[in-house]
A and B are shown apart, each in its own frame.
Chain A
Amino acid sequence: MTHDELDRKLDILFREYRQACPDPDGSPNFMPQLWQKIEARQTLPLVLGRWTRMFVSFAAALCLAMAVVLVAPYHQSQVVQTTYVEALEREHPNDMLAYSDVVPDNIGDPSWR
């Protein structure tokens, strides 16, 4: 078969194929299902928006809780306003501090100050 013959035969084949494939009408469910799909896609952004809002609220609450947990001990440590030596003095008797050369042993004398 020559190229031209084959070319013509292909044209005929496509024409016959078009006739052998009628356009289907679509089932009665076509339109209801289409509208269901349209509405489903419309509600998707709403659902995503709701999830996003929930996530943001949860994240904000978590941040607040973490801030409270982290900041509270810091404030407690601020309560200590005495120096190291004063704290030692309060914790230990004078003789012990004198013994360890932290404080002179005549600390009780008025002349010491």
Chain B
Amino acid sequence: MLIDFSLIQRAKEGDDAAFNEIVLVYRKRILGTISRLIGRPEDVEDVGQEVFLRLYYSLEQLRAPEVFEPWLYRLTVNAAYDYMRRQKRRPESRMADLSEQQLQMADADAGGKRRAEEQKKANLREYVRSLLGRVSEEDRILLTLKEVEGLSLKELEAVYKVNENALKVRLFRARQRVLKAFSVMENRDAEKERSE
């Protein structure tokens, strides 16, 4: 827990300064999670603000301060789902935006080594997003929270409100589907390399 329970209590009682402090503490972490969940840097802040807006208006429903973090993650996951659903209605796909932005940032840097490093990272990001784009939103979000964000099973139980066994089954199935997609992508890349 990054904050004291009393801060949550104060925010629950309508103390805006306490709420401000909570946002400042969790902002970076939540924005990071959102950026890895939705993959569109230009919309990360917007979704992040939606998460904290929902937090502000639902804080009084939080019964135990101990479950604050899983609860915040739950709000984050729901906001990410809502965003993805809205994006589905838009026809264009902009998975490569982050790499373009990163490349521009890298171009601004003088060092060639740094540029090469940025390029490598951008390629990696694009590759993983392409891989996770081959499975459902549910699988993508669950695996990102577990494998990338590093949430424990206990934390995921609280986020998804399911028991450990059900969660393990969901995680196993999601991982199998990603592995299948990963295998296809690896084989395709190997064939490409052979043909070149």
Decide: A17 and B45 in contact? CB cutoff 8 A.
no
B20 to chain A, nearest CB (A): 7
Binds B, one of A19-27, A68-76, A83-91, A99-107: A19-27
Partner of B32 from the list A3, A22, A27, A37 (CB cut-off 8 Å) is A22
Decide: A13 and B186 in contact? CB cutoff 8 A.
no
Inter-chain contacts of B179 with A (CB < 8 A) = 3, 6-7, 10
Q: Is A14 on the interface with B (CB-CB < 8 A)?
A: yes
Q: How many residues of B contact A (CB 8 A)?
A: 37
Interface string of B109-146 (1 = CB under 8 A from A): 00000000000011011011001000000000001000
A16 to chain B, nearest CB (A): 6
Decide: B124 and A23 in contact? CB cutoff 8 A.
no
Partner of A21 from the list B23, B56, B125, B183 (CB cut-off 8 Å) is B125
CA distance A6 to B182 in the complex (A): 8
Decide: B147 and A11 in contact? CB cutoff 8 A.
yes
Question: Total contacts A to B, CB within 8 angstroms?
Answer: 83
Inter-chain contacts of A37 with B (CB < 8 A) = 49, 53
In the complex formed, the residue of A with least CB distance to B33 is A23
Q: Is B41 on the interface with A (CB-CB < 8 A)?
A: yes
| Given A6-B183, A14-B128, A34-B52, A21:B147 Cβ within 8 A | no
CB neighbors of B among A14-55 (8 A): 14, 16-18, 20-27, 30-31, 33-34, 37-38, 41
Decide: B29 and A23 in contact? CB cutoff 8 A.
yes
Inter-chain contacts of A23 with B (CB < 8 A) = 28-29, 31-32, 35
Q: Is B159 on the interface with A (CB-CB < 8 A)?
A: no
CA distance A21 to B127 in the complex (A): 13
- Category for how many chain A residues contact B: 20 to 34
Decide: B35 and A24 in contact? CB cutoff 8 A.
yes
CA distance A25 to B41 in the complex (A): 12
Inter-chain contacts of A30 with B (CB < 8 A) = 27, 45, 48-49
A10 to chain B, nearest CB (A): 6
Q: Is A1 on the interface with B (CB-CB < 8 A)?
A: yes
Decide: A17 and B28 in contact? CB cutoff 8 A.
no
| Given A31-B20, A38-B53, A20:B124 Cβ within 8 A | yes
Most A CB contacts (10 A, CB to CB) among B49, B53, B124, B131 go to B49
B155 to chain A, nearest CB (A): 16
In the complex formed, the residue of B with least CB distance to A16 is B124
Residues of A that sit less than 8 Å from B by CB:
1, 3, 6-7, 9-11, 13-14, 16-18, 20-27, 30-31, 33-34, 37-38, 41
